[in-house]
């Protein structure tokens, strides 16, 4: 029986390592995918409508087959962009349109203009809607052809508290001349964005997984998650309100370094009861990273506090979902690998294999982000 258990344990360890390495390769391959675009729409005199659609360069390349995003610098290459404006403008113009509620098309007197914007681009279009009667509708399916989960934040007007809408595969239209969305709807969007960010923020997921690998009881996990939540809520709020601003060139490498630290700590310490202290300290750093995502989405000036709270709730829901999956799986493996009649014990080889893989991922992110900076 011991040979069977040993063989099973060895097999499971190899499977776990293989799966995590495979997941790691997916993380690396998609690290620059954002799948979130923004559109600033301004209604002008004489039925004119100006639309600025902002996309990340890596997303543009996936959608159009171009190569404008420079992986080494983390920025859009202006020279490459200059050679690719045609297919990019055609792509956005075909998927982001303004029309009447009765499907009457608005004219486009000029070809869209494409300009670089750091790690992304802005596509500027002007629509002439003189012939349209009734409400004007903006429809966008940008990126949905390559990523069904893609979303677009729509800002209507130029003010800082401009009405907002969130478009996705199930909701591609917004009425530009209708009343602003309700606060309840807006808060639901912020919660959804928070959940989405924690799941798509592979570095945050890796940090949380590394932090709980030695956990075999519920209470240490609660302390770890709570400390992380309190810490990132503090810095997220400070950064979102422009009280404390730290450049992403510092924040992103620091987040990667926190992942490496926590993963390496698993090789030297199994004390998860005090892990919450480290998690709190690094949670302050991760909060600045969350702020970057929230700033992409924007904060409504008239409801800053509720929007911040809603985004934090979304992040918290995502965190709880992650640890609710990881910890039970680890405990289940403990019981599966335990000898007959023996108390379950966390397999060191499993923790070391997972921690080693996370260390490699964190080191890759750290080196790439330092190089970008």
pLDDT per position as a tens digit, 182-192: 566 667 778 88
Q: What's the pLDDT score for residue 15? A: 43
C-alpha neighbours within 13 Å on the C-beta side of residue 144:
15
Tokens of 363: 């080191």
Domain boundaries, the chain: 2-30+191-372, 36-181
Q: Distance between CA 234 and CA 195 in Å, rounded?
A: 18
174 phi and psi angles, rounded to 5 deg: -140, 135
Q: What's the pLDDT score for residue 112? A: 92
64 phi and psi angles, rounded to 5 deg: -115, -10
Q: What's the pLDDT score for residue 360? A: 94
Scan for tokens 């370094």, then name that residue.
257
Q: What's the pLDDT score for residue 300? A: 62
Task: Spell 205-222 as b/e; 16+ CB within 10 A means b.
Answer: bbbbbbbbbbbbeeebbe
Q: What's the pLDDT score for residue 160? A: 66
Q: What's the pLDDT score for residue 344? A: 76
Q: What's the pLDDT score for residue 28? A: 38
CB 49 within 8 A of CB 165: no
Q: What's the pLDDT score for residue 250? A: 87
72 phi and psi angles, rounded to 5 deg: -75, -35
Q: What's the pLDDT score for residue 358? A: 94
CB 206 within 8 A of CB 361: yes
CB 357 within 8 A of CB 266: no
The model's pLDDT over 148-173, given as tens digits with 9 standing for 90+, comes to 888 888 888 877 667 778 888 888 99
H and E: helices and strands count for the chain: 11, 11
Tokens of 273: 């009861």
Q: What's the pLDDT score for residue 139? A: 93
Report, as ranges of residue numbers, the positions in the chain whose pLDDT lies below 50: 1-32, 372-373
Q: What's the pLDDT score for residue 302? A: 56
The model's pLDDT over 207-259, given as tens digits with 9 standing for 90+, comes to 999 999 999 888 999 999 999 999 988 998 888 777 888 887 888 899 999 99
């Amino acid at each position: 029986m011991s040979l069977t258990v040993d063989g099973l344990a060895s097999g499971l360890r190899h499977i776990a390592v293989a799966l995590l390495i495979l997941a790691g390769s997916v993380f690396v391959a998609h690290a620059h995918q954002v799948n979130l675009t923004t559109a600033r729409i301004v209604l002008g005199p004489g039925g004119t409508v100006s639309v600025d659609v902002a996309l990340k360069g890596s997303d543009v390349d996936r959608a159009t087959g171009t190569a404008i995003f420079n992986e080494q610098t983390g920025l859009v290459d202006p020279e490459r962009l200059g050679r690719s404006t045609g297919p990019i403008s055609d792509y956005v113009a075909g998927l982001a349109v303004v029309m009447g509620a009765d499907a009457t098309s608005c004219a486009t007197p000029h070809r869209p203009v494409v300009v670089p914007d750091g790690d992304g681009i802005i596509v500027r279009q002007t629509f002439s809607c003189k012939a349209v009667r009734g409400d004007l509708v903006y429809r966008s399916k940008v990126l949905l052809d390559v990523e069904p989960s893609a979303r677009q934040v729509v800002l209507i007007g130029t003010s800082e508290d401009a009405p907002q809408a969130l478009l996705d595969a199930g909701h591609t239209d917004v009425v530009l001349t209708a009343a602003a969305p309700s606060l309840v709807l807006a808060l639901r969007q912020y919660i959804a964005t928070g959940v989405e960010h924690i799941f798509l923020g592979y570095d945050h997921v890796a940090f949380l997984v590394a932090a709980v690998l030695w956990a075999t009881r519920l209470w240490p996990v609660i302390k770890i998650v709570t400390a992380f939540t309190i810490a990132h809520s503090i810095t997220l709020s400070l950064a979102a309100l422009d009280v404390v601003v730290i450049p992403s060139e510092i924040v992103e490498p620091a987040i990667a370094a926190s992942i490496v630290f926590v993963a390496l700590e698993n090789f030297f310490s199994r004390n998860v009861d005090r892990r919450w202290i480290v998690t709190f300290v690094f949670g302050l750093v991760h909060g600045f990273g969350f702020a970057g995502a929230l700033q992409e989405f924007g904060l409504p000036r008239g409801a800053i506090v509720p929007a911040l709270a809603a985004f934090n709730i979304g992040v918290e829901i995502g965190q709880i979902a992650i640890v609710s999956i990881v910890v039970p799986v680890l405990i289940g493996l403990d019981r599966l690998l335990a000898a007959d009649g023996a108390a379950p014990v966390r397999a060191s080889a499993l923790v070391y294999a997972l921690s080693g893989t996370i260390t490699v991922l964190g080191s890759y992110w750290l080196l790439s982000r330092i190089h970008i900076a």
